[in-house]
Amino acid sequence: MQVFPVILDTRPSYLRRQGAPPSLLLTPVGTGLLLHRVKAALAAVKVDTPRVLADFAVDEDYATRVRAIAAQVEEVAPVERLSGLLNECELSDCILIIDPRCYPVRGLDLRELISAAGADRSARHLVAMDTQRRGTKEYVQLDADGRVQRIQRYYDGVTWLQAQGVLASLIPVPMLREVVNPSVRGLAPLRRLMAAHGFVNRDIGLAGGIHDLRTERGLLHLSEQHLRNGEAPSSADGYRHWRPGVVVGPNCTIDPTARLYAPVVVQAESRVEAETTIIGPTLIGTGSRIEQGAVVAQCLTVPGTRVGANATFHHRLLCGDETERPSDVEVWDNDRGGIQVARRDPARDDGDEAAYRRRERYVQIKRVAEGILSALGLLLLSPLLLLVALLNKLTSRGPVFFGHEREGKDGQLFRCYKFRTMIDGAHFMQRALYKQNEVDGPQFKMDHDPRISRLGHLLRKTNIDELPQLWNVLCGQMSLIGPRPSPFRENQICVPWRKARLAVRPGITGLWQVCRSGRAQSDFHQWIYYDILYVRHLSFWLDVKILLATLVTLGGRWSMPVHWIIPSHKARAEDEYFLALDKPPVEPLAAVSAEATTSTSAGVVHA
């Protein structure tokens, strides 16, 4: 059995203007081209020599350029050539089709797709899941009179499980031969066509998302990712480090007065003239010329581009002669003696880079410290844990521990452990008791819950039932201090709240647990408020104050004023922030037959 690789090439609309590369595969990425990246992925799986099939007219110039870049290409032809290739293959062979328009954020890795090529004769597809900018998608259902009947929100990777694109497909030759006029202008239509003909399709989900190279923004993001990750210079091709973070190719001319801020790659035979400013991540393509006084920030400059004198460009794909100066871009000196470029926005918040770095360092130190503390806690409390486990087993039926699936950092699911405090089968009784729920929002709580065992009342009153969560802390799934760990069912109501609380690891105790008051009518609103307040102010001293407040209030038995933990002026600033969030821009809603992708921006949801 042989695997014959086919690389699809296309010409997106943004590459059809004058001076642009002739196709997507010939677009620069890092110190090479996109074709080099795909070839490297194929070399890692050791398959046959690839063919390049284009969905546009293939002329001699295009074929020559492809062969000059990748000498070991079996054939450069139009996509219709696939039918002829199928006739040349044995029935035991497979065709590996790669569509680089959906390029993985974590890099193209074909090993899992190829690994079962011999044993599994089904069609296999490397699939990227559909994701939204805010991680959610909403559908609005209207009745015949246009009145809203229902709004349903779906979350990426949890309740929204549709494919955004297919990166690569490994298909046995007999299957492709049976499909009438196989369409490989896109792998997603081909995948649907295979299923319509009754063939078995197996999807391999891709983690990490994709860069959609059908759009200019997607190509820019791919280029920026490679530059930020650090492009290693290839000495064989004459590339070198001009200065830290700036890689320069052979035969380049860079004026001593030019300012280049890493990460930047200047490909071969390019010229950077006097008083120019290049701010990374930026890629200057082969043979380009950046004329005197020009500013190029976060751009991708294709080979042979000329940027005119004193022109300014920000986050653009530059082709041919670029001489305009966009009016919505400004350049200014920052406090650290560098240059910053941004879209002109009077309400711009530049952020505090030093504070961000301190926060990241603290999160790393906190993880190590809590691992040590949780291990010591489990060791010192082991006699108590064993005693409670024994009593729990002797006093009521059921397991000693209760493990429930919760969402951790970045939405990763984990099993959160507690001592069982309810009778066996308690979850089957919750629906019948839901009318007696004494708190608002998605959670369920009753002061006199009939499902709680006699020992469970004592364990809950003393918070001893929470001690097994030290194991979750030791495993890195939880933190000692953070937002309350919640299941997906409770995290659906407010999108910004979900995004904020899942940005950190959930905690055994937290700001909401020690500061909440009014545990019925407004409890859920406080839950949202305190969780986001904690995430925005995360620091060592905040965690120390919450830990002390937990001890003083005996695990939240009574309320601690929030201004004792977070200064009043900061809390007032947060109130203004949430007030602004509570008035999102109104966006049109579509009927159920059309997709309504509204962005829920409210910081508080009024149930």
pLDDT, one tens digit per residue, over 488-500 is: 888 877 788 888 8
Average confidence (pLDDT) over 116-131: 77
Q: What is the pTM of this model?
A: 0.63
* pLDDT above 60: residue 338: no
CATH class of 3-213: alpha beta
Average confidence (pLDDT) over 136-148: 82
* pLDDT score, position 175: 86
Percent helix, percent strand, percent coil in the chain, to nearest 5: 35, 25, 45
Structure tokens at 53: 């099939």
* pLDDT above 70: residue 253: yes
Task: Give Cβ neighbours of residue 167 (< 8 Å, ≥ 6 apart).
Answer: 98, 99, 102, 103, 104, 108, 126, 127, 128, 187, 206, 210
* pLDDT score, position 290: 93
C-alpha to C-alpha distance for 477 and 371, rounded to whole angstroms: 10
Average confidence (pLDDT) over 43-58: 86
User: Is beta strand 210-212 parallel, antiparallel or unpaired with respect to 102-104?
Assistant: antiparallel
230-334 CATH:
2.160.10
* pLDDT score, position 482: 93
Please name which of 32, 72, 30 lies closest in space to residue 52, comparing C-alpha atoms. Answer: 72
Alpha carbons within 13 angstroms on the beta-carbon side of residue 304 total 7
Residue 96 and residue 114 in contact, taking contact as beta carbons nearer than 8 Å: yes
Beta strand ranges found along 321-478 (DSSP E): 321-322, 329-333, 339-343, 401-407, 413-419
* pLDDT score, position 471: 95
* pLDDT above 80: residue 385: yes
Q: How confident is the model at residue 15 (pLDDT cuts 50, 70, 90)?
A: confident
Alpha carbons within 13 angstroms on the beta-carbon side of residue 100 total 32
Q: How confident is the model at residue 76 (pLDDT cuts 50, 70, 90)?
A: confident
Q: Tell me which range, 224-233, 329-338, 478-487, 526-535, is most confidently predicted by mean pLDDT.
A: 478-487
Tell me whether residue 387 is exposed, middle or buried, using C-beta atoms within 10 angstroms of its C-beta: 0 to 12, 13 to 18, 19 or more. Answer: exposed
Residue type, 306: R
Average confidence (pLDDT) over 583-606: 33
Q: How confident is the model at residue 576 (pLDDT cuts 50, 70, 90)?
A: low
Tell whether omega for the bond before 50 is within 30 degrees of 0, i.e. cis. no
* pLDDT score, position 335: 41
Residue with more model confidence, 272 or 446: 272
Among 185-194, 362-371, 584-593, the least confident range: 584-593
The residues spanned by each domain of the chain are: 3-213, 230-334, 353-581
Distances 330 to 220, 267, 346, 348, 411 between C-alpha atoms, Å? 20, 26, 11, 12, 37
Residue with more model confidence, 178 or 420: 420
* pLDDT above 60: residue 483: yes
* pLDDT above 50: residue 606: no
* pLDDT score, position 475: 94
* pLDDT above 60: residue 125: yes
